[in-house]
Amino acid sequence: AQTVTQSQPEMSVQEAETVTLSCTYDTSESNYYLFWYKQPPSRQMILVIRQEAYKQQNATENRFSVNFQKAAKSFSLKISDSQLGDTAMYFCGYTGNQFYFGTGTSLTVIP
């Protein structure tokens, strides 16, 4: 079965602090990419970061970075120096032949 699990439905973080969102997945595919999408209150889905499964080096995009543990099938997202604009729903997932999404983590950045 192809599944993506986000075990933290809701999280909060103080502005300027660091927060890590968890994600695990299960796939039998050998070639795939992992991703995190952000959905702010505007409802627009925005790609935050992606990672090739065959690469050991963790991807980074400015304040966003991932911790990819392939053997454990874990793909967590770290947000550094959290900003109010980071308040959003975050979806992790992976894509091989299709796209698979987790159920989301609602992140609130507290001023």
Partner 1 sequence: NAGVTQTPKFRVLKTGQSMTLLCAQDMNHEYMYWYRQDPGMGLRLIHYSVGEGTTAKGEVPDGYNVSRLKKQNFLLGLESAAPSQTSVYFCASRQLVSGANVLTFGAGSRLTVL
Q: Which residues of the shown chain bind partner 1 in the complex (CB under 8 A)?
A: 4, 9, 33, 35, 42-45, 47, 50, 52, 91, 95, 98-99, 101-104
Closest CA to 105 of 44, 64, 93, 96: 93
Q: Of 37 and 73, which CB lies nearer to partner 1 in the complex structure? A: 37
Q: Of 24 and 80, which CB lies nearer to partner 1 in the complex structure? A: 24
**Minimum separation from the CB atom of position 39 to partner 1 (A):** 8
Q: Of 39 and 87, which CB lies nearer to partner 1 in the complex structure? A: 39
CA distances, 59 to each of 39, 65, 96, 105 (Å):
20, 6, 18, 20
